[in-house]
Amino acid sequence: MMKVIEDRPVISVVVPTHGRVNLLKKLLISLQKASSNCNISIEVIIVDDSPTDEQNQIKQLCQSFGARYINGPQNVRMKRNIGIKASKAEIILFVDSDCEVSENIFEEHLKIYNEPDTAGVLGITEFVGRENITWKIVERTKFLDAFSFAKTLKNYLDSAPWGTCTNLSFKKEVLEQIGGFDTNFPFKLGGDDTDLGIRINKAGYKIKMNPNAIVYHTRETWNNFLAVTKRAFRWGRMDYYIFYKKHKDKISFIFPKPITLFYFLLVLGCIKAVVGNILLGLLLPFIWLLVFLFLNAFFKTVSSKDSLKSALFEIPAQFLHFLFDFGTTLESIRNKKPMAFFKHPLDDPRQVIVLWNEKVREMWGITLSTLLILIFFMVI
């Protein structure tokens, strides 16, 4: 175990926030419990850009719980970089403001640093709280996979390709060496943890995984479907800049992609609209999309031996995946680079094994829906 240096914390917890006063209070309570449960010195740094009223409340919380308050910009990456620079510890733990930590979180992170080749530690993030309809949709998507990498990837790798900043720690010297979070991306949040993990791995460091290091994430910030659709679309747009522009070595050919077929049918539909039936031509790609989403959801429901009622949640879940890809291809078009139409990131090493069945189901969905639409197109 690392030595405690007098007046110097062993771990600095960096938390970016905007509002979320009540959630932040819960996090600070959990950090206080975890700190009192171990015999090491901990500092908590809150980097905030809330409106004045909420800012004052957060300052009061920081004062009550002994946390350091720093006023920061809107950009989440910049907030985390400010936290890195301000930290006094050798190890920095990133946690989000809508989370609560387990009582042994610090010990579980620190024990992995006893291994000489450890640059970072990734724990798991469990979701807690009320489940509504939106959550039943979200839990069927790929967007939650990374939160459990520390559990699901242990059988395949000895280190993680990247991890979410809900429960992720690094040696400060490693973060400083690679330049911290990249602040040159076009959006103020999203994808920063993916890019950071890729760069750390490329620098020759390892992000070890510990499923016993647990953080609890509230479902409260995932319970609005409109907000989730915006998030999925933004993540898709960010995916272009992370993989297709910055880390091109992480993408490979994949065809056909559902989004590529959609664009193809959109062009075909426009031709049909010009030649004859305008309304039918314009509706063609959207009819295909509905058929594809239904078939893909049906195949997944049957293969998992789930009830057919669950398909009602599976269809919008598949739509969120489509929206993600739409965001990626939109940025590809804007940057005049067509790579996103026929290439796909291989950032999850389980894709060849665990996710193979998903790709097979998708291929069947693409084939049958395209065949049905083309037959319909020729008939009319």
Q: Which pLDDT score is estimated for 352?
A: 52
pLDDT digits (tens, 9 = 90+) for 158-167: 889 999 999 9
pTM across the whole model:
0.91
Per the DSSP assignment, residues forming a β-bridge with 217 are 99, 127
Choosing from 168, 188, 223, the residue where a domain stops is 223
Q: Is 238 domain-assigned?
A: no
pLDDT digits (tens, 9 = 90+) for 156-212: 788 899 999 999 999 999 999 999 999 999 888 888 899 999 999 999 999 999 999
219 plus 273 within the same structural domain = no
Q: Is 291 domain-assigned?
A: yes
Q: Which pLDDT score is estimated for 79?
A: 97
CB 240 within 8 A of CB 335: yes
138 plus 62 within the same structural domain = yes
Residue 17 has pLDDT above 60, yes or no: yes
Q: Which residues contact 259 (CB under 8 A, 6 or more apart)?
A: 322, 325, 326, 328, 329, 341
CB 16 within 8 A of CB 72: yes
More confident residue, 266 or 121: 121
Supply the range of the domain harboring residue 132: 11-223
202 plus 266 within the same structural domain = no
Proportion of the chain above pLDDT 70, given as a percent: 94
CATH code, domain with 44: 3.90.550.10
60 plus 198 within the same structural domain = yes
Q: Which pLDDT score is estimated for 351?
A: 52
Q: Which pLDDT score is estimated for 284?
A: 84
3-state SS class at 80: helix
77 plus 186 within the same structural domain = yes
Residue 64 has pLDDT above 60, yes or no: yes
pLDDT digits (tens, 9 = 90+) for 105-146: 999 999 999 887 899 999 999 999 999 999 999 999 999 999
